[in-house]
């Protein structure tokens, strides 16, 4: 899954699965809005909210380059894992460099 961040001209930031770049835009699916949220510790954290309340969440569509303030950006691993868990229901294990798992 190629998870990318999209900064829109409106100032909004969304995160979505990038399926392809078409020459006129980005073919994406499962977009979520990136929102600042206050955590239980009082600190600001990042959360996700449904980008459109009425559109089919799974539908693929093209986000035109003309709507973007920047090119699609890679996201850090923690954000990618959190997004993947949110949209698929799968919980990915934390990875520790050099750790060998034996069955």
User: What are the structural domains of the chain?
Assistant: 3-88 (2.30.30.100)
Model confidence, pTM: 0.81
Tokens read off for 44: 């600001």
pLDDT value at residue 93: 62
pLDDT value at residue 51: 92
Strand bridging mode 73-74 / 44-50: unpaired
Confidence of residue 8 (pLDDT cuts 50, 70, 90): very high
Q: CA 84, CA 45: separation in Å to the nearest integer?
A: 18
pLDDT value at residue 80: 92
pLDDT at residue 95 is higher than 60: no
Higher-pLDDT residue of 51 and 94 is 51
DSSP characters over 56-103: -TT--EEEEGGGBSS--EE--HHHHHHHHHHHH-PPPPPP-TT-----
User: Rg for the chain (alpha carbons), in Å?
Assistant: 15
């Amino acid at each position: 899954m190629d998870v990318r961040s999209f900064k829109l001209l409106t100032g909004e930031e969304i995160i979505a699965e990038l399926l392809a770049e078409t020459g006129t835009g980005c073919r994406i699916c499962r977009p979520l809005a990136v929102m600042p949220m206050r955590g239980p510790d009082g600190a600001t954290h990042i959360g996700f909210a449904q980008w459109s309340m009425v559109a089919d969440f799974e539908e693929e569509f093209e986000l035109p380059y003309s709507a973007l303030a920047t090119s699609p950006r890679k996201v850090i691993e923690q954000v990618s894992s959190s997004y993947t868990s949110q949209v698929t229901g799968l919980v990915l294990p934390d990875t520790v460099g050099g750790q060998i798992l034996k069955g």
